[in-house]
């Protein structure tokens, strides 16, 4: 490199390092904010990618080399279709499968159990073939043998030869662990047994869950699917195994996107800190930059200098964030698993993998955010006229372009319009943009708002004292500098307010919803998870006749596939009050009266309205009993099933499906009977030991704990963004105070004491923070309305009512106010500690 070419680079480097050495704390806070934003976003991306990839690999291992899968809308179908399918000339191999989520006594969660034909499965999914002991080679066909993956053995604490008890309809089944599944994925809890044994042991005689199909060479999948649809009818669904992965991805996509958006909140705060850091640096060095212009530095070089300083913070912060994000992802996967509380990827054990493309994207995002944050100060520094900038007292003019209210008003109007737009690919893209536009627009209005308010106060009685005159005069006449501190308060506090209101509203709505749906005195179920257990009709009659039971209602939950591209919806049969369904269901609006029912009445969750277009009064055909016409009689709120749910009268469900087994029991007790007495009486029944009991209060407490665990990552991200915001507020007030050393020196020449200057600074900090808090309440409240009534319904297809957590909001507001006042005073003590003559001597 030639010496002439090296000189600008050396000068830029020297100026940048000199600025960082002079103000290391402010630079470190901005760098840390960028690093945290990048680290959180990159970590969440790595965790979700690892979990999804491992879940997809586990799903592929279950279907092996199958080209297609045959299912029906319901969870199972008659096995009589299998011989005709297997004998088709275009089918090379057809492998029947029974899928069971087996409940394990005393365990939370279910064991995925597959019943397979060993000889057929060997040609399609050899990883599913168990490895029996050498002296028992025919265990793969035994009716009491089960093969477990290593993760399942570890979870169940069993080994080869041990007995294993699983719950089935009417009781428990004891099986023998005959060996392992060597081809299972790490962390995959999987069990395999002979298909005939599985059908017999778990009450699935004559039933199949799916048929894996491997086509003959040269057969078109599309043509075969069309032919099979024509031959078998619309009741049967033909899909490729990868479509199951797509369904899982679609179900978890909104959750993953929301987490990434929350992570980027910290990055947005970091961008504003870079802006405030560079803006205050330009104000403080205004005369120095002008002097560089006088001695020959061009406008472009000045602009590049400011951009280089901010960009360097972005580069260093992004690099640090990438490394920290990888470490955070590794720790989170090791200790908390891959679902981050969402529960979308159960039974897997993902490991973190560094993704170069994602790392590059987040690195460029962090660097770009930092450069964007210092773009406005760089433009102002380049446009400044050297002669004017060399004079003291013109610092506030650096940010004069921020005083115009029109850009801020335009952003607010655009954000409001975006909040009314529909989702894009079932994601609230415009809702996210509306939040960002409202936030940026509110920050851009702060200079005009501060000038108007403090000018008004300066003419009021509040300015009657000398302290009031100095404080309000400074805030009114230098609103652009004040707006930087106000922006820091506003960005952090408004986001905290919005998130706090959204989470509190959701939690209170869930609590109220639980109060509506948990109307009985006692609840009993065969298993907390899985679909293998149930109570027969005879057992139901025995429970209803138990001493102390005044009334018993039974509920059956099954799965129904309405769209092969979407996850199955829950089909629920239960007694529903025909005259007033609101006594049974948490309805959200008007219902169809019984005299308007034409067909089987059904009540659908809010997700069914968004995903399938169901509405009150609409006639739909459900794939039950060859196709049954139903009418939507009402819409109810369901926080438990994001994919949708349909409820119908239990007698209608039994008539259409022939299924008399039930999952859950709601019990109302006789007067004078206690819960303990009723539980003891039911325990004496032959099947009583298999039942789990819970009171409404226990279920509510457990559900709210699950809610808090699901939102733990949200609380963490919210707390991180708030801490960064507080650091930013402190750094902004500190840098502004230190930049006013000459002003304080002049005031001391006029007779103002150090104590009065500190009191003035405390008042300034308090007034700025108070204004930021008040506007933050309004802006945060508006953003929370978008989160509650736009983002959440478009993401998860449920609604909630507004709830304001005043104690939490008040506590944080007071902490922010105290932080601003304390920071202003502490910084002021250092600024006024020097000699008054030295502070102003460069003006002589």
Residue with tokens 């009709």: 537
Region 354-365: mean pLDDT is 91
What is the mean pLDDT of the segment spanning 466-495?
73
Q: How many CA atoms lie within 13 A of 773 on its CB side?
A: 19
Q: Tell whether the model's pLDDT for residue 779 goes beyond 90.
A: yes
- Of 126-135, 241-250, 383-392, 442-451, give the range with the top mean pLDDT: 126-135
What pLDDT does residue 2 have?
47
Selected residue with higher pLDDT from 17 and 387: 17
Distance CA 339, CA 332 (A): 10
Q: What's the pLDDT score for residue 534?
A: 85
Residue of higher predicted confidence among 788 and 599: 788
Evaluate if residue 668 carries a pLDDT over 90.
Answer: yes
pLDDT category of residue 1 using cuts at 50, 70 and 90: very low
Which of 71-80, 84-93, 270-279 shows the lowest per-residue confidence on average (mean pLDDT)? 270-279
Tell me how far apart the alpha carbons of residues 35 and 365 are, in angstroms, rounded to a whole number. 11
> What mean pLDDT, rounded, does the chain reach?
83
pLDDT band at 392 (very low <50, low <70, confident <90, very high): low
| Residues 232, 644: Cα–Cα separation, whole Å | 27
The confidence score (pLDDT) of residue 759 equals 83
Q: What is the pLDDT of residue 4?
A: 43
Please state, in angstroms and rounded to a whole number, the distance separating the CA atoms of residues 569 and 384. Answer: 63
- pLDDT score recorded for residue 3: 45
Which alpha helices (DSSP H) does 555-659 contain, by range? Answer: 606-612, 650-657
> Distances in Å between the alpha carbon of 198 and those of 108, 142, 146, 249, 743?
22, 10, 9, 30, 85
Q: Which residue has the higher pLDDT, 645 or 705?
A: 645
Query: Above 70 in pLDDT, residue 12?
Result: no
What pLDDT is stored for residue 651 in this prediction? 94
Measured CA distances, 128 to 9, 51, 75, 214, 256 (Å): 63, 22, 21, 16, 31
- Residue with the bigger pLDDT between 821 and 99: it is 99
- pLDDT of 342 > 70? The answer is no
Nearest C-alpha neighbor of 34 from the set 220, 311, 286: 311
Alpha helices, H only, 594-695? 606-612, 650-657, 675-683
User: Is the pLDDT higher at 757 or at 152?
Assistant: 152
Query: Percent of the chain scored above 90 by pLDDT?
Result: 33
pLDDT at 159: 92
> Residue 134 above 70 pLDDT?
yes
What mean pLDDT do residues 453-480 have?
74
pLDDT value of position 5 = 45
Instruction: List, for residues 550-567, the tens digit of each pLDDT value.
Output: 999 999 999 898 887 788
pLDDT for the residue 340: 54
How confident is the model over 252-279, as a mean pLDDT?
73
Tally of helices (H runs) and strands (E runs) in the chain: 29, 21
Can you name the residues that pair with 164 across neighbouring β-strands?
A: 175
For residue 97, the cross-strand partners are 116, 210
Integer Cα distance of 371 and 375 in angstroms: 6
Q: What is the pLDDT of residue 299?
A: 78
Residues 603-610: what's their mean pLDDT?
Answer: 94
CA distance 373 to 314: 10
Residue 834 is predicted with a pLDDT of 59
Give the separation between CA 733 and CA 711, rounded to whole angstroms.
Answer: 33
164 token code pair: 């294993």
What pLDDT, on the 0 to 100 scale, is given for residue 836? 52
Q: What three-state secondary structure class fits 19?
A: helix
* Structure-token pair, residue 583: 């006594």
Residue 312, pLDDT score: 87
Give percent of the chain above pLDDT 70: 84
Concatenated DSSP letters for 796-815? HS--------HHHHHHHHHH
pLDDT at residue 701 tops 80: yes
Confidence check: pLDDT of 543 > 60: yes
Distances from the Cα of 36 to the Cα of 184, 268, 359, 720, 722, angstroms: 37, 11, 14, 8, 12
């Amino acid at each position: 490199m030639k010496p002439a070419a090296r000189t600008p680079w050396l000068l830029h480097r020297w100026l940048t390092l000199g600025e960082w050495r002079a103000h290391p704390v402010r630079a470190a806070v901005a760098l840390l904010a960028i690093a945290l934003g990048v680290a959180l976003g990159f970590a969440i991306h790595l965790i979700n990618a690892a979990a999804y990839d491992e879940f997809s690999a586990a799903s592929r291992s279950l279907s092996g080399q199958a080209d297609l899968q045959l299912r029906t809308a319901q969870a199972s179908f008659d096995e009589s279709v299998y011989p005709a399918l297997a004998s088709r000339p275009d089918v090379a191999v057809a492998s029947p499968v029974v899928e069971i989520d087996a409940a394990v006594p005393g365990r939370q969660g279910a064991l995925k159990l597959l019943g397979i034909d060993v000889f057929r499965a060997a040609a399609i999914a050899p990883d599913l073939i168990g490895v029996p002991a050498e002296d028992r080679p025919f265990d793969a066909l035994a009716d009491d043998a089960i093969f477990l993956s290593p993760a399942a053995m570890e979870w169940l604490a069993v080994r080869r030869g041990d007995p294993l008890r699983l719950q089935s309809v009417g009781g428990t089944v004891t099986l023998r662990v005959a060996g392992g599944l060597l081809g299972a994925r790490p962390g995959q809890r999987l069990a395999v047994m002979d298909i005939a044994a599985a059908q017999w042991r778990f009450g699935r005689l004559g039933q199949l869950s799916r048929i894996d199909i491997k086509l003959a060479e040269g057969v078109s999948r599309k043509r075969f699917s069309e032919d099979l649809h024509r031959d078998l009818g619309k009741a049967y669904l033909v899909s490729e195994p990868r479509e199951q992965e797509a369904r899982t991805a679609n179900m978890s996509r909104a959750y993953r996107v929301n987490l990434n958006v929350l992570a980027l909140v910290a990055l947005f705060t970091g961008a504003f800190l870079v802006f405030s850091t560079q803006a205050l640096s330009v104000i403080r060095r205004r005369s120095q930059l002008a002097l560089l212009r006088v001695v020959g530095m061009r406008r472009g070089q000045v602009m590049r200098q400011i951009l280089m300083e901010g960009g360097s913070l972005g580069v260093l912060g992004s690099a640090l964030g990438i490394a920290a994000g990888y470490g955070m992802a590794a720790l989170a996967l090791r200790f908390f698993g891959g679902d981050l509380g969402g529960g979308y990827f159960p039974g897997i054990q993902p490991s973190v993998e560094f993704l170069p493309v994602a790392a590059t994207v987040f690195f460029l995002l962090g660097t770009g955010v930092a450069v964007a944050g210092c773009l406005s100060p760089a433009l102002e520094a380049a446009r400044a006229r050297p002669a004017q900038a060399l004079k003291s007292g013109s610092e506030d003019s650096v940010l004069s372009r921020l005083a115009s209210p029109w850009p801020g008003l335009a952003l607010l109007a655009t954000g409001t319009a975006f909040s009314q737009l529909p989702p894009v690919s079932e994601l609230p893209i415009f809702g996210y943009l509306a939040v960002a536009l409202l936030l940026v627009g509110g920050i851009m209005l702060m200079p005009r708002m501060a000038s108007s308010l403090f000018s008004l106060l300066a003419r009021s009685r509040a300015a009657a004292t000398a302290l009031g005159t100095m404080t309000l005069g400074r805030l009114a006449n230098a609103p652009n500098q004040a707006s930087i501190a106000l922006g820091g308060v506003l960005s952090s506090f408004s986001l905290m307010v919005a998130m706090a209101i959204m989470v509190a509203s959701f939690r209170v709505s869930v609590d109220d919803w639980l109060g509506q749906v948990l109307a009985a005195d006692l609840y009993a179920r065969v298993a907390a998870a899985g679909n293998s257990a149930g109570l027969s009709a005879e057992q139901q009659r025995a429970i209803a006749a138990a001493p102390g039971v005044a009334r018993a209602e039974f509920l059956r939950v099954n799965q129904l596939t309405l769209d092969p591209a979407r996850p199955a919806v829950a089909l629920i049969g239960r007694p529903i009050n025909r005259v007033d369904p609101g006594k049974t269901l948490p309805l959200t609006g008007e219902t169809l009266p019984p005299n308007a029912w034409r067909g089987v009445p059904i009540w659908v969750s809010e997700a069914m309205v968004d995903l399938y277009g169901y509405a009150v009064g609409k006639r739909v055909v459900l794939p039950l009993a060859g196709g049954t016409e139903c009418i939507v009689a009402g819409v109810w709120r369901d926080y438990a099933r994001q994919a949708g749910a349909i409820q119908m009268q239990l007698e209608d469900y039994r008539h259409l499906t022939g299924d008399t087994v039930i999952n859950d029991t709601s019990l109302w007790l006789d007067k004078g009977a206690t819960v303990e007495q009723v539980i003891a009486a039911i325990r004496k029944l032959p099947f009583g030991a298999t039942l789990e009991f819970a009171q409404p209060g226990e279920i509510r407490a457990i559900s709210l704990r699950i809610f808090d665990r699901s939102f733990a990552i949200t609380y963490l991200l919210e707390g991180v963004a708030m801490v960064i915001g507080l650091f930013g507020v402190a750094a902004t007030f500190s840098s502004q105070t230190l930049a006013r050393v000459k002003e304080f020196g002049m005031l001391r020449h006029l007779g103002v004491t150090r104590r009065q200057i500190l009191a003035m600074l405390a008042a300034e900090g308090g007034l700025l923070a108070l204004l930021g808090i008040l506007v933050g309440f309004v802006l945060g409240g508006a953003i929370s309305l978008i989160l509650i009534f736009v983002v959440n319904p478009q993401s998860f297809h449920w609604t909630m009512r507004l709830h304001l957590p005043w104690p939490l909001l008040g506590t944080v507001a007071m902490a922010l106010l105290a932080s601003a006042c304390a920071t202003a005073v502490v910084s002021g003590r250092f600024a006024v500690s020097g000699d008054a003559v030295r502070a102003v001597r460069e003006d002589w």
